[in-house]
Structure 1
Amino acid sequence: MAGASMNGVLFFPVTPFTPSGEVDTERLAQHIAKGVDAGPGGVFCACGTGEFHAIDAGELGTIVRTTVDAADGRVPVYAGAGGSVAQAKSFARAAQEAGADGLLLLPPYLVEMPQAGLVAYTRAVSEATDLPLIVYNRNNARYDETSAIAVAQLPNVVGFKDGTGDLDQVARIVRAVTDALEPSGKPFQFFNGLPTAEVSQQAYRAIGVTLYSSATFAFAPELALAFYQSLESGNERLTAALLREFFHPLVRLRDTVPGYAVSLIKAGVAMEGVETGSVRPPLVDAAPADVERLREILAAGRAVLAEALTSVPG
């Protein structure tokens, strides 16, 4: 399945931990199987939502192996890699040995770099394995048109994911990369990687980026899928209702505490029946009052979906 193009909603699972702090493989397998049963286009384990920043290469191998086994070949499994160039290559090799179908390259360790250095970093990690690799444009790893074309032409780089929200720049990158790759016919995909990507996806679709990561899918796949389908079918009324009642309130709550883009998702997964344990430092668990607010937001989203379903003839 390596290198296969993806479509639909992309599932970014959390990483459950035991009370003593180890990766909880039993709960992780349960979480992955439940998510894959819901029908995502792919699984991205040990990435941002999966607390990549807090795991080592050995743990990544365990997470990937568990995810691959639970997914059972039904969808491609991508894994995170990043950090220093040495760490990123180590993570990449660990992911390949554990059976991953591809990699999501997160930013290098926080250091400012020229574009040539960013290309060199990407090349070094891409050459560490033969897995397909998606680059992540965010934080200090910000590609321009020239560097985006350069990495897109690397043999196993198959995608570009944006987490900057700079639509002007991203639109130019999409056009430049698409035009540069057209003569070769190389398949290539673009992704919206902003937190709670649903709230910005209408804008990304306008510049040709139809794929996006959904943390919501981890705990409320029916809402994530309903939103995706409303965009695909042009159901503007349902899109607006889900944004108003669920996604926008979720973002407002998420923005109250740094790291809630992970902590709230973990709380949601636990709320839906899969124990996840605590987040690792430097993140903090969602406060009880915020968990209750999340429960209210989730109920409001499901009410929108229930109303939409009852209004469909037949």
Structure 2
Amino acid sequence: MKVSHYFELEEHVTGGIAASVDHQRKMFDLAGIEYTTEPTLDADVLHLNLMGPRSVWYARRARRAGVPVVAHTHVTAEDFGDSFRFTNALARPLKPYLRRAYRLADRLICPSEYNRDLIEGYADVPTTVVSNGVDREKLDGFESLEAEYRERYDLDPPTVFMVGHVIKRKGLETFVETAHRMPDVDFAWFGHVDRSLKGRETKRLIDEAPSNCTFTGFVDDIRGAYAAGDVFCFPTHEENEGIALLEAMAAGKPLVVRDIETFSWLADGEECLKVGDERDGADAASAADAPGDNVSGFVEAIDELRDADRRAELGTTAAERSEAFALDAIADRYRSLYAELA
């Protein structure tokens, strides 16, 4: 069996989609699946990772030639908004485009149950949920970098941290405001800043962040983030799955997440601490909380994790849960899926 595994704009797209594609190809190697990264109909299956115009063109050709088409649903209009400049304006026309594009597939691969629920509103096409997975080997030896990265960014434990592109959708406002409320705690966001791609509000939040909130920009060794960070704070408003979250779990870091449907599979109080958006009592009277945003809840959760034993308890449970997302635990799902279609 041979798979044409095409990632349109591969040389330009970074972040979670790029990481997912890298994970898929590592899983192919683990499962012994032959593949080419070129778009070609000289294959048993055409697997498309980003449904741009070229991918759509190949999908139409493949259908005419009788080659099964698989499309990954990394992109949704819901996930696209509040990301970079102009993405909010593009999110509305994106949905009808994606509906047409995803309908060209014989099977859609969704990274989570939440993503599958969204995609059911896009196309009447059979779906299969396959996690993006976590590359545990990528994290090997991360502990050895702790002193170096704490010194580099002047971070004292317990450091609250995030990993990924600095974009508003991922809860930037909440992250910064929580840092304002906790001046004695260091906060660090590891990942691309890309100011030229940011909207005015995003740049304002970065510029007005308190001195205890560091934006590191790109880091040459992502293991350093998981070495220097103690509490992974992920206040994202919308996420298809969250590879950085899976990495933090694999590194044994306790999680503080927004209580959204994407994370319904995580047990609150056992595998993470969840913060709801609803406000009551004193929270409702707080003008510093944005509408529907419970900053006080994040402060309370992080306060709970000042205790090293509690951090270790949650981190250990998270690490155990992450084992099911290891690449070698998922790889055979692709072999089964392709065999079913070819």
TM-score by length of 1: 0.28
More helix by share: 1
- The higher radius of gyration belongs to 2
TM-score by length of 2: 0.27
